[in-house]
Amino acid sequence: MLAKHYGWTPMFEPVEFNPYLEDYYADMTRWSFNLQIYFLSKRFRDVVEISKREDSVIQDRTIFEDARIFAPNLHDMGRMSDRDFENYSELFDLMMSLVKLPDLMIYIRSSIPNLVSQIAKRGREYEKTMGIDYLMGLNTLYEDWIANYKGRLIIIDGDNTKFEGNPAAFSTITDEIDKVLFGFFPEEQ
């Protein structure tokens, strides 16, 4: 919806073509490092591609989430070894020394019950093995990361803001984006 509204080019997370995803959900400990390296390489490729483009791009998932949320969660849960996590983190830090923060980060904050509901709506069979402890760990790491994020940030209440099919709710989001990115308020347009 934001891509259409602003004329931005969307970049979506490639879940359908991921050779590790089903294996990962079947055995997180065995496949966590492989999956995270796969995502890191794909997202770094996206970051490099975006940096070469002249048009504006919007992503539904960023390179930061894997390294600051998903990989640490797997490590904290004992599903990624210290050695693999350190190797992964060093590679991420090297990659990040070559790129800049996005112009704007939009964080959709969501409770565990809402996340479970959204995951169920997607209907991906392999996601049914995802435990509440895993989601709780992710939420905690997201909140910690967002609290310390250094770039421009908009936080949206994902539990109570349903903008699909709701022009008023969508307008509140675009108004906030206009203020943060373009420095003007809706009444000035």
Residue 60 annotated among the catalytic residues of the structure:
yes
Q: How many other β-carbons are positioned within 10 Å of the β-carbon of residue 179?
A: 14
Count CA atoms closer than 13 A to 69's CA, side-chain side. Answer: 23
Can you spell out the DSSP letters for 27-54?
A: -HHHHHHHHHHHHHHHHHHHHHHHHH-S
How would you class 174 by CB atoms within 10 Å of its CB: exposed for 0-12, middle for 13-18, buried for 19 or more? middle
In Å, the largest CA–CA distance within the chain is: 55
- Among residues 23, 46, 60, 144, which one is catalytic? 60
SS3 for 108? strand
d(CA 135, CA 170): 26
State both tokens at 117. Answer: 């509901």
Q: Which of 118, 139, 1 is nearest to 65 (CA)?
A: 139
Residue of 153, 158, 48 lying closest to 110 (CA atoms): 158
Q: Annotated active-site positions, please? A: 60
